[in-house]
Amino acid sequence: MQRFILNKRNQIAFIGGVLIIIAFISKLGFKNIEIFTWSLIIASIMGIAPIAIQAFQALSVKVVSIDVLVTIAVTGALLIKNYEESAIVTFLFLFGAYLEQRTLNQTRSAIKELTEMVPESALKQMENGEFEEVEVDEVDVGDILLVKTGAKIPVDGTVLTGEGYINEASITGESVPVGKEKDSKVYAGTILDNGTLQIIADRVGEDTTFGKIIELVEEAQDSKSEAERFIDRFSKYYTPAVLVLGFIVWLISRDIELAITILVLGCPGALVIGVPVSNVAGIGNGARNGVLLKGSEIIHDFSKVDTIVFDKTGTLTIGNPKVADIIVYAKNFNEVSSYLASVESESDHPLAKAVVEYIGDTKLYLVENTDVVKGGGIVAYVDGHRVAVGNLSLIEQENVPINEKVREDIARFEQDGNSLVLTSVDGELMVMMGIRDQIRPGVKEDLQKLKKLGVKNLVVLSGDNQGTVDLVARELGLTEAHGNMLPEDKAAHIKELQDKGKIVAFVGDGVNDSPSLALAHIGIAMGSGTDVAIETSDIVLMNSDFSRLPHALGLTKSTANNMRQNIVIAVGVVVVLLASVFLSEWMNMSIGMLVHELSILVVILNGMRLLRYRLRK
């Protein structure tokens, strides 16, 4: 019976409202006091039923909730035959609860949208080679699946055959479709805009990137910040205090109506709901924009950060070395480039890959007698010529003449932060390439946004040589730059900053820098939804998009401010209402409950503004 009544709260509120309207029409229009009285009594009794049940449930676990205050107040109003007050208070309380739930559901729209994107079925290849539609739960790792245009990718997997463009907004927040071909990675919950793909399942169900994101956002929205825990403790003592205040007022004044009015006006509903709704809305905004915030406590801590430490490679830079400068000393570069590409194609070294990528399609020769010189490069014979490719040390070992002009070129390349790749053919220097990692597009502007948001110290820590790190720091306007650092050195530097009273966030790739991510007050991973990135950090910037970092900081600051605004609104309304009881003649239970419910809606709507938050340009 209790469950039935609680499930019908909205209908009871509607009937109560209709009965109140009938009552006042009967009294004002037809002077029928009997219908007026009985309509209000029925509305009061119906309305108090679900509220009393919730009050009883709260008391059974030793919690004096808002429902307890309202139940006592309405029961008292009925006993003193103040039927107008009792009926209107129960209606406003139930109707307010309905509006609260409706608006709160909107703040959880981000997670709702995510769960609706979860694929329900898949086309799985059976033993006879045919593809049949099955429930997604029936797909196992290693199964081959067919995905057609417009369908959702059901699992995390690798493309076996086919080409197409996939909308990965659910994973990365980016609406621009991403091209996929053989060996490309695809993620569950994304949508194939066009094309047809056959994929092999790598991760299924809750183990997929999309499953982990949903789990993360759900946990974050259900977690409680320090402010929420404080308000829970406050409400635990505040509500009984209101009961005691009402009893004391009755003892002194012997005015039962005044005492009952105090119980209604002292309800701390807006205070209890204000902070959680801000957190939920803030986390929801982040999920929509590719920023995964792992809990309400993270919002509080990140909003106070004054120092952000960055790993260089893969964070400030793309992490993919490319040829940035080149000087050709040979007369026939086309032939030399073919020799160079032939030798470098034999190597898996990142610098070799950068050279091959730069040269592009060219004639490749058979490479013979390859000699890999540790810490130097490669010496081999190509088309009958002795070709040496490597650093300056290797070229000097080959006794290649280096004149003053070449040494000036070398010094200039190194000063610009390049790694050198020199090529000699038959003892003569032919080409010098300068290879360096490229700074991410837009990073400089994003760092300026962080400064405007109150970050005073921007620090880069890297294992690269100090010259390269200094070059990046100068170009980006960083506060500090430290090179030649091992992972333990980075962690030690972060500890040193913390000892100086700095509130430190560390931004890294979530793999090599896990000690620093764990040690910093806030660990931020540049991740494309990888397991390590999600599990080792407090915040994940999906798709390794650095531009999401200023949005994340601005969002957490706005969320923290929004919490404070809601607390001020909630406390201010209660203070004004209680003061009005003693300092004015117009305040009563009905007006107090109306203002009380309006204050709850105000803090909810104020929190919902965060769903539309965008960082100002």
Catalytic residue among 67, 156, 311, 464: 311
Cβ pair 270, 602 in contact under 8 A: yes
Encoded amino acid at 402, one letter: I
Q: Nearest to residue 389, comparing CAs of 440, 431, 330? A: 431
Q: Nearest to residue 109, comparing CAs of 253, 277, 254, 265? A: 277
Through-space distance between the first and last CA atoms of the chain, rounded to whole angstroms:
56
Cα–Cα dist 390/495, whole Å: 39
* Bridge partners of residue 471, in order along the sequence: none
**Other CB atoms within 10 Å distance of the CB of residue 233:** 10
Q: Could you give the strand order of the β-sheet that contains 504-508, starting from the edge strand earlier in sequence?
A: 291-293, 539-542, 522-527, 504-508, 307-311, 457-461, 480-482
Cβ pair 27, 105 in contact under 8 A: no
Cβ pair 517, 508 in contact under 8 A: yes
Residue with tokens 């965060």: 610
157's enclosing H/E stretch is: strand 156-167
Annotation marks residue 311 as catalytic = yes
- Grouping H, G, I as helix, E, B as strand and the rest as coil, residue 535 is helix
Backbone angles phi, psi at 385, to 5 degrees: -110, 145
Q: At a CB cut-off of 8 Å and minimum separation 6, what does 534 contact? A: 209, 212, 213, 216, 292, 525, 527, 540
Cβ pair 508, 501 in contact under 8 A: no
Q: Name the CA dihedral angle for 440, 445, 448, 449, rounded to a multiple of 10 degrees.
A: -100
- Grouping H, G, I as helix, E, B as strand and the rest as coil, residue 335 is helix
- State the DSSP code for 64: -
Burial of 431 (0-12, 13-18, 19+ CB in 10 A): buried
Cα–Cα dist 569/560, whole Å: 14
Residue with tokens 């009792």: 86
Which amino acids are annotated catalytic? Answer: 311
